[in-house]
Amino acid sequence: KNPSPLSFQDICNKLKNNEFKNVVVMCGAGISVAAGIPDFRSANGLYKQLDGYELPYPEAIFDISYFKDKPHPFFRLSKKLFPGNFVPTKTHYFFRLLQKKRILRMIFTQNIDTLERVAGIKDQYLVEAHGSFGKATCVKCKKKYGQNFIKPFIFKDQIPKCVNCDGVVKPDIVFFGESVPKRFRIQKNIDFPKADLLLVIGTSLVVQPFCSLIEEVSPSCPRLLINRETVRRFSSEFNIFSQILGGEGGGGFKFDLEDNYRDIKWIGECDDGIQKMVDLCGWNQEFDEILKE
């Protein structure tokens, strides 16, 4: 049993009655799967599709030290992932509805596909926690480039090279071993304490520092997970262990625990969960208008 006094329906009722004014969204690759972009860790995810890439382990494709030595695998994959060939999903357009209703505080996305922007989310409501293909930087001299500089190289199976120093020009995607953007660090401290509803959608919540963000909302803020599977479940062993080690771990959703009072999960396809929310909120007409635009 879920001891939380809050249900999915309760959250929707509160949304409908205008009780949430600062909705913070955290999302990941799962929200773009319906657009035709594979996620990373599912059975048919990207990390399972890298057989011909000769990588020591799948995540090496986004590892900065590996990239500096061998940039080819990443650029080969970039050709497949390059923004422009995909259209946003219902979930992306739901974010737009929240923006239109002026209750969207901020979207923190791990995605690099820019589909939030394509769906009409304004810069001011978006934190691209893992960067995007929008800009690029020379790894050697740090000269900045736009997306249009790297695109032709990628589509001709060539490595983009700096006009100044011949260094490799890397899209501004945050690799393992690189720090998250300054905007992430700033907005995290501003938006999470202000959140009155946290929506977590389409992410396995395993990559730091992003996954720890769920702990940054106030203790009174409900946290709703919409995902194919349960993720980041609170575990007392893990928490004691990480405290002893002085690690940042800790926390997690308390879905099935006795002391859960604010964590809610909706397990299934995110577009279905979103449609259910729209139905329960009675927002169908406005949502359909956005979808038709």
Q: Within 109-138, which residues bind ligand OAD (CB under 6 A)?
A: 110, 130
| Nearest distance in Å: CB 290, ligand OAD | 20
Rounded CA-CA distance 250/244 in Å is: 11
Active site annotation includes 72: no
Beta-carbon contacts of residue 222 (< 8 Å; ≥ 6 apart) = 6, 11, 197, 198, 262, 263, 264
Of 7-15, 92-100, 192-200, 227-235, the segment contacting ligand OAD by CB under 6 A is: 227-235
User: Is residue 211 a known part of a binding site?
Assistant: no
* Nearest CA-CA partner of 145 in 136, 153, 154: 136
| Nearest distance in Å: CB 229, ligand OAD | 5
Of 16-24, 78-86, 200-208, 275-283, the segment contacting ligand OAD by CB under 6 A is: 200-208
Cα distances (angstroms) measured from residue 99 to each of 94, 119, 199, 240, 288: 9, 11, 14, 39, 15
Q: Does 88 bind ligand OAD (CB under 6 A)?
A: no
Residue 183 CB coordination number (10 Å): 13
Nearer to ligand OAD, 193 or 268 (CB): 268
Q: Does 252 bind ligand OAD (CB under 6 A)?
A: no
Rounded CA-CA distance 72/78 in Å is: 10
Q: Does 231 bind ligand OAD (CB under 6 A)?
A: yes
Q: Does 39 bind ligand OAD (CB under 6 A)?
A: yes
Nearer to ligand OAD, 12 or 200 (CB): 200
- Which of 92, 130, 223, 254 is the catalytic position? 130
Q: Does 229 bind ligand OAD (CB under 6 A)?
A: yes
User: Is residue 281 a known part of a binding site?
Assistant: no
Which position among 174, 197, 214, 224 is part of the footprint of ligand OAD (CB under 6 A)?
174
| Nearest distance in Å: CB 165, ligand OAD | 25
Nearer to ligand OAD, 216 or 271 (CB): 271
Rounded CA-CA distance 288/90 in Å is: 10
How many positions of this chain bind ligand OAD (CB under 6 A)?
26
Of 71-79, 98-106, 156-164, 221-229, the segment contacting ligand OAD by CB under 6 A is: 221-229
| Nearest distance in Å: CB 8, ligand OAD | 15
User: Is residue 162 a known part of a binding site?
Assistant: yes
Q: Within 267-286, which residues bind ligand OAD (CB under 6 A)?
A: 269-270
Q: Residue numbers of the site for ligand OAD (CB under 6 A)?
A: 28-30, 33-34, 39-42, 45, 59, 62, 110, 130, 174-175, 202-204, 207, 227-229, 231, 269-270
- Residues tagged active-site: 130
Pick out the residues of the known binding site for Zn(2+). 138, 141, 162, 165
